[in-house]
Amino acid sequence: MSAFSAVEVIATKRDGAVLSDEMITWVLDAYRRGEVADEQMSALLMAIFFNGLSAAELATWTDQMIASGERLDLTGLSRPTVDKHSTGGVGDKISLILAPLVAACGAAVPQLSGRGLGYTGGTLDKLESIPGWRANLSGDEIRQQLESVGAVICAAGAGLVPVDAKLYSLRDVTATVESIPLIASSIMSKKIAEGTGALVLDVKVGRGAFIKDVERARELARTMVGLGAAHGVATVAKLSAMDAPLGRAVGNALEVAESVEVLRGAGPSDVRALTLELATIMVELAGLGVDPAAKLDDGSAHEVYRRMIRAQGGNPDAALPLAKVSELVMAPRAGYVRDVDARAVGIAAWRLGAGRTRKEDPVSFAAGVTCLVAQGDVVEDGQPLFELHADDDSHLELGRDAIAGAVVIGDEADVEVPTDLGLIRG
């Protein structure tokens, strides 16, 4: 005989009451075992979407998500552990640079990453454009690579927070993804289960981000920082604007190439600046007195990147996939670039083939968008604004349609919008 019924739990939250610890423990475990149906969990998720979770409910919900699977044991490493998670944005390839950079500073960086869905790219999709590179590692392989190389970027194993995978898929098809307690518990349960000692959260806000409103982004950041602190993980959140694409490259292989540029001391200034800001916080949390800029400029981070790629079967010297067709998008008039819409660029990259609609869909490694201008630039009539990359003409046409209107050109320069929206510490 079950302690509760799914209907009882749903009705409790539907009516705005507080779920007991026992209710939360039972419903998540029963859902994991298949005793609570998808339609019942969908109803509960919608009730949470509208009525939220109290701090106590959220703590228990997160605890039980962690308890649904394995935990990665990183004790015994000779390096302090610190990780970073981004809520995702257009052109956000920071992890590819940041993990080897912080490892070059003396930390162990266990980046358990995901794949892209919709117009925000996934770190694993980007790295899989490198010939031979593999995403799936065992727990022993992760620990060995952290000790020998200092950085690993890989997929979370199926045994890590398995109930989250079921819940995430359900949230995606029931319009409940945007719930702050559900986002926070999903992110933090996986980060806590991976065993890192410290964590930096890059919370994106704006048109090209998952969250558009600054106050909601702050609420999410505060919630995640609180969950980290409650589990003994030193956590800091940085809020950064995502109204314009990050860097120039948007698309899997294109972003890998741009990341290597930054690791070699070149590349877009905004990518380098954000990488160093996040690296400085991570190094501080790890208790290391090292200047990340020095490790980026002397080639140390690039060497760790190459070792990290090789350790996972990849060839860092191999040619990256190239698009079969490409096309330039020209400026319709002369003037100042007042705006480059990250969401429009992201959707264009997605339509070109760089993203997926469903998790099981394939992606094109070569497809994407190269942004040739940024806010504040002066352009001439007919000057190239973007270069579109695709595997065939039909995808190229889709990308062309999606990127129309992504750039606003005016007669006067726009006031620059700040990209750093502050830090939240526990």
Active site residue 240: no
- In angstroms, the CA 300 to CA 265 distance is 11
Which is the catalytic residue, given 84, 190, 248, 351? Answer: 190
Which is the catalytic residue, given 164, 202, 341, 377? Answer: 164
Active site residue 164: yes
Active site residue 93: no
Active site residue 359: no
Number of C-beta neighbours around residue 53 at 10 A: 23
Structure-token pair, residue 326: 């490409």
| Residue written as token pair 């117009």 | 119
What is the number of alpha carbons within 13 Å of residue 332 lying toward its C-beta? 7
Which is the catalytic residue, given 13, 85, 126, 295? Answer: 85
* 3-class DSSP state of 151: strand
Which is the catalytic residue, given 68, 95, 186, 240? Answer: 186
Number of C-beta neighbours around residue 279 at 10 A: 29
Q: What are phi and psi of 337, to 5 degrees?
A: -75, 110
* Distant-in-sequence, close-in-space partners of 14: CB < 8 Å, separation ≥ 6: 43, 47, 51
- In angstroms, the CA 307 to CA 301 distance is 10
Closest C-alpha among 107, 113, 200, 198 to residue 150:
107
Identify residue 94 by its one-letter amino acid code.
Answer: I
What is the number of alpha carbons within 13 Å of residue 336 lying toward its C-beta? 10
Closest C-alpha among 3, 69, 5, 1 to residue 36:
5
Number of C-beta neighbours around residue 12 at 10 A: 18
Which is the catalytic residue, given 13, 171, 351, 395? Answer: 171
Active site residue 302: no
- In angstroms, the CA 357 to CA 175 distance is 15
Q: Which residues are catalytic?
A: 85, 164, 171, 186, 190
